[in-house]
Amino acid sequence: MKIWLDGELQDAESARVSVFDHGLTVGDGVFETIKAQHGRAFALTRHLERLTTSARGLGLPDPDLDEVRRGCEAVMAANPMALGRLRLTYTGGVSPLGSDRGDAGPTLVIALSETTRRPDTTAAVTVPWTRNERGALTGLKTTSYGENVVALARARERGASEALFANTVGALCEGTGANVFVVLDGELHTPPLHSGCLAGITRALTVDWAGAKETDLPLDALERAEEIFLTSTLRDVQAVNRIDDRQLADAPGPVTAEAMRIFDERAAADFDPR
C-alpha cells in the first residue's frame, strides 16, 4: 500500500508522521473523505473547496490544491481498486506540546483503503449529547472527532450504523458522519446549515437534485417521519429502516427510492459535479 506524505509516495509501513504533529497532539487538522471508483475521485472539486474552507476556519494555510490533486491521482494509480475510501488529512504540522502552533508548516497525508458498497437500508439511533451550533469548529470538517467516536460506539452497541444529534436548542442536526433527511407529509426535508450540521457534499447534491427543503426541525420529527434517509460520501443515499426502537419499512420508501435513483443517475453522468 502506497500513501502520499508531504509531496511524495511512500510505503505505508515505513511512512511516519512526527509524534509532535499538532494533528495528533491536539486535533489541529482538517480532512476529507472521498469516494474513489476505478481510479477516479467523485466530486473532487467540491471536496477540495471544503478542505480549503475548513483549513481557513481553523487558521491553517490554504492547502496547495495542485499538490493535493497530484497526490490523489498518484495514490489511486498506485493502489488500484474498484471502490475505495480516499482520505485527505491536513494538519498544523510539528508544533510545541500545547495549543500554540509551530512554524514547521502543515502536514499532508493522502491514503486509500478498499471498501464495499453499503446496503440499501440501515438502522440509526439518537444520542443524548448535542451539537453546538455556535461553536468555533461548527461547519468545519476537523480531525477533532472524539464526540463522534463516542456516539458511534453507542450506535454500534444498539445494532445501528449511525448516531443522530440534536443541537443545543433541540433541533435535529446531523449524524457522526452523515447528514439526515426526513419525509413529512410526503415532502422531503433536511436541517439547514445554521442548525450546526456539516455542509455535506452528498447532502448538497441531494438537496439540488432531489428538491429537498432545508427546514428547522425538532428532534422528534424522527418519530413522525414517514421516511428517513442518510447521506454521506460512502453511503450516497441510504434509507433508515429503524430509528431507536421505531421500525420503519424494510425497503426504501418511495421518496427515498426516488432520491437514490436520481443520485445514482446524476452522479454517473457527472463524476465531478460543480
Entry pTM: 0.97
Asked whether the predicted pLDDT for residue 122 surpasses 90, the reply is yes
Domain with CATH 3.20.10.10 in the chain: 121-269
Q: What is the pLDDT of residues 152-199, one digit of tens each?
A: 999 999 999 999 999 999 999 999 999 999 999 999 999 999 999 999
- Mean pLDDT over 93-104 rounds to 96
Residue 160 confidence (pLDDT):
98
Residue 262 confidence (pLDDT):
98
Q: What is the pLDDT of residues 228-258, one digit of tens each?
A: 999 999 999 999 999 999 999 999 999 999 9
* 107-114 and 40-41 strand pairing: unpaired
Residue 74 confidence (pLDDT):
98
- Mean pLDDT over 104-111 rounds to 97
Residue 266 confidence (pLDDT):
98
Residue 6 confidence (pLDDT):
84
Q: What is the pLDDT of residues 15-37, one digit of tens each?
A: 999 999 999 999 999 999 999 99
If we measure between CA atoms, which residue out of 262, 119, 252 comes closest to residue 202?
262
Q: Is the four-CA dihedral 238, 244, 246, 250 of positive or negative sign?
A: positive
Domain with CATH 3.30.470.10 in the chain: 2-114
Q: What is the pLDDT of residues 33-78, one digit of tens each?
A: 999 999 999 999 999 999 999 999 999 999 999 999 999 999 999 9
Q: Is the four-CA dihedral 174, 232, 50, 216 of positive or negative sign?
A: negative
> 3 pairs with which residues across the strands?
10
**Alpha-carbon distance 207 to 205, whole Å?**
5
**Alpha-carbon distance 161 to 157, whole Å?**
10
Helix, strand and coil content of the chain, in percent to the nearest 5, comes to: 30, 35, 40
Supply 13's cell numbers. 509501513
Distances (CA, A) of 84 to 201, 231, 248: 17, 17, 30
- Mean pLDDT over 98-106 rounds to 96
Q: What is the pLDDT of residues 74-88, one digit of tens each?
A: 999 999 999 999 999
State the amino acid at position 171 in one-letter form: A
> What are the helix and strand counts (H, E) for the chain?
7, 15
- State the fold for domain 2-114: D-amino Acid Aminotransferase; Chain A, domain 1 (3.30.470)
CATH number 3.20.10.10 given to 121-269? yes
